[in-house]
Structure 1
Amino acid sequence: MASPIVPVVLAGGQGTRLWPMSRSARPKQFLPLMGETSLFQDTLARAAPRDGRYGPALALTNAEYRFLVAEQAQEIGAPLAAILLEPTARNTAAAIAAAAAYAALRIDPEAVLHILPSDHAISADEGYWRAVDAAAAAARSGLLVTFGVTPDHPETGYGYILCGEPLTPEGALKVARFVEKPDLAKAEAMLAAGGHVWNSGMFMLKAKVFLEEAERLAPETFRAASLGVEKAQADLDFVRIDEESFSAAPNISVDYAIFEKTDRASVLPVSFAWSDLGAWDAVWKARAKDAQGNAASGPASFSNASGSLVISDKAHVVVEGLKDVAVVASEDAIFVGPLSETQKVGAVVARLKARPETRALTEIHKTVYRPWGGYSSVLGGERFQVKRLFVKPGKKLSLQKHHHRSEHWIVVRGTAEVTVDGETKLLTENESIYLPLGAVHRLANPGKILLELIEVQTGSYLGEDDIIRFEDMFGRV
């Protein structure tokens, strides 16, 4: 029996096209856009070890998302072979080369890797599994396989692949040509001509074969990734790729660096339901709809409305007498626009990011998640700020102090273990404590339920960077 496939889940992207839900601190792969679990968790679940097909996954991300990756994997019980941390973004060629180098070094040079973006929506039906097995067979024969989705409409948001002659009995075809994202007329012409598929960004390849082609066709990428993995350092449960080495890699996609140059490229046409969820109209297409074609996530009502999308965190959104609109309401920002124009959200975000007064709306949510739990901003003003803190059972914040603010903590739910200048005490519901400016303090949840507090900060400067850490269970000192 063939060795299990190694899933490689790419989870480092900072996509902005699904703003205001997706932001740089918590991008779309970590959001539950299609159900109760995040897209990243859906990807891990789809590639979970089962029937001997897959082994534990390799996850590639950056340092900012490392705890999100670890915790979301743990939440669904998904085993990970390793979490590789890219020190800097260098596009898919370097990322896949690093994964291949790690697999060749730590798992098996002959290992077959299934490269999976973590922000796609996929229906894993029988056709999907047939495609996985066919692609694995082609990869084991020495081909580099890309999955090409059979188009059902003239999409301008995807790149295309022109299919060539058959290469394997299982259906892999030669790549005749890669086609950039087309305009509508060209997309319609390719759909009418046939033989073209959407470039999905999913690949199946043998680690050894990919590295051989990278060394031959993209030597700078090969050297940077290989040396970065060779010099990598363990950090808690993570593997930090060496920054000096990896940073030398060109910022280039795997299509340009390898697939458009190699004579081993193949494409496997597939017809399972797939979307890269690249804009809110794609989310609308992928979600279940009512009889009028409306789709919703969160509290929403439609009245004389059709063909519309509502995504809401908390506020109840009512759409009356409109059609083909998108309404996306986060805790602190709302986007409203024609569903057909949501591809332009990225440009809107760029303008918001360029303005100091709106930059934070593109970077962080009102609720910020940390490895120990997180906090929500409730109210702020001159020299004061009110937050809701939540701490997971068994977790603790770093031992820290502040130079410019004092804090008051009021326990709303659960039990808090609070250390202030070496003295520790337990607080239960409705009890409070004062933390003077400069006091060395720590908060922990020793209980079995979520700890919730109201924190009132007062002082001359209330920024999150006013923190000196002395000890930290998450290696952030």
Structure 2
Amino acid sequence: MKLILLSGGSGKRLWPLSNDARSKQFLRILDMDGQDEKVSMVQRVWEQLKKNGLSDDSYISTSQSQVEILNNQLENEIRLVVEPERRDTFPAISLAASYLYSMSSVSLDETIVILPVDPYVEDQFFENVKNLDQVLNDSGADIALIGVKPTYPSEKYGYIIPEQIDNNQFYTNVNTFVEKPHHSEAVSMISQGALWNCGVFAFKLNYLIDLLIELGLPIQYETMLSQYGQMPSTSFDYKVVENAKNIVVSPYHGYWKDLGTWNTLTDEMTNPIVGKGYISEDSINSHLINELNLPVTVLGLSNIVVAVSPDGILVSDKDESPRIKEILKSDTSRPMFEERRWGYYQVVDYSQNKEKDQILTKKICITAGNNLSYQYHIFREELWTIVSGEGELVLNNSIQTLKKGDLIRIPPKTMHSVKAISDLEIIEVQMGSNLIEEDIIRLSTDWSEIIKFCIK
């Protein structure tokens, strides 16, 4: 059995902590047994996969923009299948399946399980995941789903209507699906034994490979990668699940929750305050999440969430917090905080002078042993001030040491990289006519390869 975890998302529902570079699954605000520091949803799920013996058979399907943060948070333990561009779940799953088939030589009889990268579940949930292989073999079904027993008549989930309920069986046939019904419909369906669709399903690899052939789509990974922009941009549910002739569902009766909005996420926080701040005792059921080094105080306000980050400030009634996605749908602001494979950066200030030159100030933190890529920029000049730590600097193929207090000027088209010997903090001031993240030409990310440039 192989698992494909889907990692996507635009990062709007948990703004301002989440953004286009750091979706909800990467926010480090959850507690986990045995961990002193806060963890993200993806870190929590990965630990559960390891605990249940599933991590070695797991792959993550993601977009290029999330590769570095996944490597940072999961410490390069993972195997990634990277979309060349964002489309939808059908092309993403198809690309991953073609990788397993043509690059990893996975048997066509192998069970493939698809699941989100961020479910908030008990460990028992993964026993149900393991059982999907047996469910497919016993039922002969095209697709096997996991359905969650509803706890209330929600309008934001899809519902699976089984043909009959037998608590002594691992699975039952599926009658139909209803996507996000009205409250009254949800009440009626729950009374009939309907289950929430939690986005977990399984199929034999040959089922999807045969379907791709039937649709005239490539099954070789390299070919699909080169033609990815021509793949139909549609969901797997719409393209495959809704057209499958034989579907079964395996009920899960344990705890499951989608932590996709501030009101659901704060329910699972053990401490009402993350970061610097204070909440008065008469502020009932209120939470403060503060990523800045400025104190925030909440007085006499109940049932609210206050979230503060370099991207902005949210003050919202918890029940109204899901509206933030709609409000921000046309926002195109650049992310002010990003995690990378080497550490993270935070935008401190941005301005434009009288000559129309742009000036961007960043705090860059590189963790010990990691390095930036060997790179140069076309349009911008950079000035570095070393605030703390020690490192090695490569500048136009020459090597020098870095220490606290050093000042480094990097003109446009100057090749440069730095490796942190100890945790390294740099204040970087960018100046130029076009300050964009895309203004970067990477020559290498491997430090041993970078040193070879200097030896030459």
* TM-score when normalising by structure 1: 0.81
Superposition deviation, residue 320 in structure 1: 2.0
Give the match for residue 454 of structure 1: 427
Per-residue CA deviation, residues 310-333 of structure 1 (Å, 9 max, x unaligned), is: 322234433222222222211230
Give the match for residue 346 of structure 1: 325
SS at match of 1:190: helix
Give the match for residue 379 of structure 1: 349
Give the match for residue 297 of structure 1: 274
Match of 1:319 among 284, 293, 298: 298
Please tell me whether the aligned partners of residues 213 and 262 of structure 1 are also in contact (alpha carbons under 8 angstroms): no
Give the match for residue 192 of structure 2: 194
Per-residue CA deviation, residues 137-159 of structure 1 (Å, 9 max, x unaligned), is: 10233331111111111111111
Give the match for residue 453 of structure 2: none
Please tell me whether the aligned partners of residues 103 and 109 of structure 1 are also in contact (alpha carbons under 8 angstroms): no
Which letter does structure 2 place at the counterpart of 1:346?
A: K
Give the match for residue 26 of structure 1: 22
Match of 2:40 among 38, 41, 53: 38
Match of 2:264 among 275, 279, 282: 282
Match of 2:365 among 390, 401, 420: 390
Q: Percent identity?
A: 27
Going from structure 1 to structure 2, the CA distance change for 1:334 and 1:109 (only over 3 Å counts) comes to same
Which letter does structure 2 place at the counterpart of 1:149?
A: V
Superposition deviation, residue 458 in structure 1: 4.0
Which letter does structure 2 place at the counterpart of 1:340?
A: D
Per-residue CA deviation, residues 312-361 of structure 1 (Å, 9 max, x unaligned), is: 2234433222222222211230112221122211111114x1xxxxx21x
Please tell me whether the aligned partners of residues 10 and 116 of structure 1 are also in contact (alpha carbons under 8 angstroms): yes
Superposition deviation, residue 167 in structure 1: 9.3
Give the whole-Å Cα distance in 2 for the aligned partners of 1:469 and 1:392.
Answer: 20
Per-residue CA deviation, residues 280-338 of structure 1 (Å, 9 max, x unaligned), is: 1221333347xxxxx44334433212233332223443322222222221123011222
Give the whole-Å Cα distance in 1 for the aligned partners of 2:235 and 2:439.
Answer: 38
1:243 and 2:226 aligned: yes
Match of 1:368 among 338, 348, 368: 338
Per-residue CA deviation, residues 119-172 of structure 1 (Å, 9 max, x unaligned), is: 2211223xx244234323102333311111111111111111111136997421
Give the whole-Å Cα distance in 2 for the aligned partners of 1:461 and 1:445.
Answer: 27
Give the whole-Å Cα distance in 1 for the aligned partners of 2:184 and 2:277.
Answer: 37
Structure 2 residue runs of 5 or longer lacking an equivalent are 32-37, 450-456
SS at match of 2:404: coil
Give the match for residue 356 of structure 1: none
Give the whole-Å Cα distance in 1 for the aligned partners of 2:390 and 2:308.
Answer: 33
Per-residue CA deviation, residues 59-82 of structure 1 (Å, 9 max, x unaligned), is: 11112222222332226xx4x3x3
Superposition deviation, residue 215 in structure 1: 5.2
Please tell me whether the aligned partners of residues 416 and 443 of structure 1 are also in contact (alpha carbons under 8 angstroms): no
Superposition deviation, residue 459 in structure 1: 4.5
Give the match for residue 454 of structure 2: none
Superposition deviation, residue 90 in structure 1: 3.1
Going from structure 1 to structure 2, the CA distance change for 1:55 and 1:285 (only over 3 Å counts) comes to same
Which letter does structure 2 place at the counterpart of 1:331?
A: P
Going from structure 1 to structure 2, the CA distance change for 1:288 and 1:464 (only over 3 Å counts) comes to closer
Give the whole-Å Cα distance in 2 for the aligned partners of 1:438 and 1:213.
Answer: 50
Superposition deviation, residue 176 in structure 1: 0.9
Structure 1 residue runs of 5 or longer lacking an equivalent are 232-240, 290-294, 354-358
Give the match for residue 163 of structure 1: 162
Give the whole-Å Cα distance in 2 for the aligned partners of 1:11 and 1:320.
Answer: 37
Give the match for residue 388 of structure 2: 413
Which letter does structure 2 place at the counterpart of 1:454?
A: I
Please tell me whether the aligned partners of residues 48 and 56 of structure 1 are also in contact (alpha carbons under 8 angstroms): no
Match of 2:134 among 134, 137, 159: 137
Give the match for residue 240 of structure 2: 258
Give the whole-Å Cα distance in 2 for the aligned partners of 1:18 and 1:97.
Answer: 29
Please tell me whether the aligned partners of residues 145 and 204 of structure 1 are also in contact (alpha carbons under 8 angstroms): yes
Per-residue CA deviation, residues 437-468 of structure 1 (Å, 9 max, x unaligned), is: 33624131251x21112223345554444444
1:426 and 2:416 aligned: no
Considering only aligned residues, what root-mean-square deviation do their CA atoms show, in Å?
A: 2.8
SS at match of 1:260: helix
Give the whole-Å Cα distance in 2 for the aligned partners of 1:137 and 1:282.
Answer: 33
1:111 and 2:110 aligned: yes
Give the match for residue 209 of structure 1: 207
Going from structure 1 to structure 2, the CA distance change for 1:214 and 1:401 (only over 3 Å counts) comes to closer
Superposition deviation, residue 415 in structure 1: 1.9
SS at match of 2:100: helix
Which letter does structure 1 place at the counterpart of 2:233?
A: N
Superposition deviation, residue 10 in structure 1: 0.8
Going from structure 1 to structure 2, the CA distance change for 1:473 and 1:259 (only over 3 Å counts) comes to same
Going from structure 1 to structure 2, the CA distance change for 1:166 and 1:461 (only over 3 Å counts) comes to closer
Give the match for residue 34 of structure 2: none
Give the whole-Å Cα distance in 1 for the aligned partners of 2:60 and 2:388.
Answer: 35
Going from structure 1 to structure 2, the CA distance change for 1:100 and 1:165 (only over 3 Å counts) comes to farther
Going from structure 1 to structure 2, the CA distance change for 1:428 and 1:288 (only over 3 Å counts) comes to closer
Superposition deviation, residue 270 in structure 1: 0.9
1:307 and 2:285 aligned: yes
Per-residue CA deviation, residues 42-68 of structure 1 (Å, 9 max, x unaligned), is: 2222222755x6643111111222222
